[in-house]
Copies of this chain bind each other. A is one copy, B any other.
Amino acid sequence: ERRSEAQLYFQMVEPIPEWEPDNEVWGVNFPRQYESYKKTLDTTFQSKYYGSVMIDYLERYPEMVVMWAGYAFSRDYNQGRGHYYSVKDVHNTLRTGVPQPATCWTCKSTDVPRLMNEMGPSEFYAHTWAEMGPEIQNPIGCQDCHDPNTMNLRITRPALAEAFERQGIDINDATRQEMRSLVCAQCHVEYYFGEDNYLIFPWDEGFSADEMEYYKDRVGHTDWVHALSRAPMLKAQHPDYELYKTGIHAQRDVSCADCHMPYKREGGIKFTDHHLRSPLDNIENSCMVCHRQSEATLQANVYDQQNRVSELRRIAERNLARVHIEAKHAWDAGANEEEMEDILQLIRHSQWRWDWVAAANAMGFHSSSEALRVLATSIQKAQEASIKLTSVFNRYGVEYPIEMPDLSTKEKAQEYIGLDMEKIREEKEEFLEKTLPQWLGSI
């Protein structure tokens, strides 16, 4: 008889201390959520562009290496996987081979709210990545999204609350449905490091690519100067929330959790599936609640849109790699700052716009028409730069078109920009063998 299933229990077996970082402790009370959460360990699913498998982005899109010359991303960049791996992947990435601030930990661990509570956010950000290393033991988990007393959703990362505050919005006024996306917006958003590596979400002028570009120009922020073109570059990081906001699902109040954490029912108990992953691994529960089409049709709808976005992003990448190299040749031929100024500005904006789509997950599905619009303007700006560069070449007698290096693989591209990958890998290995065990054994 399954009738008694219909009862709901919300009983805390063991009260959870405030700032408890260990998921297992929470799991005692909420075994269903915990069991499903642990499934983010699984790395088998792969869709056409995403999934929880490891995907080496630089291998797949080698032009990126050139586009990030002089920046740590040209060493190593993988497609994200399950929340369970968040700390491990930061240890492993070659990007942490260069000195990084503790700010890098912000979105990676339930230990962060604990530390921030102890020392305050500014103090936390002011440390180095390595200094905080031994404190960071647990991956993303319950503490990041929940209040341990009420189990209500809760914002634990100050950057989000501050960004809304600057726009005059009190995040405590958010509705429950908004919270089902806002907890994700603590991390799945574009950010930059301000003074003393303070974490800032650049939303003061608005959420769109154009508005954030305007904001960054206004505050004069530059992430790095490009090693080839010398352009003052911007890096966009996973503006998932921002892109999603412009899409039809957000406009219809469909939240991140609706697709990535659909409700599940076991007997009479309804609970939220905490196996966060690609909805394509779970179309039936995720999409078919609202859409009556078959799994095959819905998957085809997603791929249709992703294929279009992918086509444009590939065009943008080829244009951008080319224009960086062309700019390098212009400098080499003797071009001066004045001649290059607006060219470099175009490159900055073009790459920002490409990145705004490429760094966002889902290959534009979260809002395909906005993604395509932004990519089109990226293409336009890089080519505008190329057009202007030909005038410079003309002036300095450089033959056009410039011959392009072979960028068909990650290795070739890394060699072209002069990265000593062997050394970088050795250093990482040393860290993993010597330092890391100390960190992990530290608590």
Q: Which residues of A contact B (CB under 8 A)?
A: 248, 251-252, 293, 297, 301, 304-305, 308, 311-312, 315, 319, 368-370, 372-373, 375-377, 379-380, 383-384, 386-387, 390-391, 393-394, 400-401
Contacts and interface: CB of A to CB of B under 8 A. Distances in A.
Contact of A376 (B368, B375, B387): B375
Given A319-B380, A376-B376, 6 more contacts: A251-B301, A372-B373, A372-B376, A383-B386, A390-B400, A393-B394
Q: Describe A's contact surface by its main secondary structure.
A: helix
19 contacts: A248-B301, A251-B297, A304-B369, A305-B369, A308-B370, A312-B373, A312-B376, A315-B380, A319-B380, A372-B372, A372-B373, A376-B376, A383-B383, A383-B386, A386-B387, A387-B390, A390-B390, A390-B394, A393-B394
A229 B297 CA distance: 45
A377 B315 CA distance: 9
A415 to B, nearest CB: 27
A377 B312 CA distance: 8
B376 A315 contact: yes
A352 to B, nearest CB: 17
Of A297, A319, A393, A400, chain B has the most CB atoms within 10 Å of the CB of A400
A93 B313 CA distance: 42
Contacts of A308: 369-370, 372-373
A251 B315 CA distance: 27
Given A312-B373, A368-B369, A370-B308, A391 B400 contact: yes
Contacts of A394: 390, 393-394, 400
Contacts of A383: 379-380, 383-384, 386-387
A313 to B, nearest CB: 10
The 6 A-B pairs of least Cβ separation, nearest first, read A376-B376, A390-B390, A383-B383, A372-B372, A308-B373, A394-B394
Contacts of A301: 248, 251
B390 A391 contact: yes
A394 B393 CA distance: 9
A240 to B, nearest CB: 19
Contacts of A400: 390-391, 394
A251 B311 CA distance: 21
A262 to B, nearest CB: 21
A373 B315 contact: no
Contacts of A368: 369
A327 to B, nearest CB: 14
Contacts of A391: 390, 400-401
A401 B111 CA distance: 58
Contacts of A373: 308, 311-312, 372
A321 to B, nearest CB: 15
Contacts of A370: 308
A344 to B, nearest CB: 18
Nearest to A247: B304
A387 B393 CA distance: 12
Nearest to A370: B308
A323 to B, nearest CB: 10
A293 B248 CA distance: 12
A401 B384 CA distance: 12
A376 B391 CA distance: 24
A379 B379 CA distance: 8
A301 B383 CA distance: 31
A311 B401 CA distance: 30
Contacts of A248: 301
A387 to B, nearest CB: 5
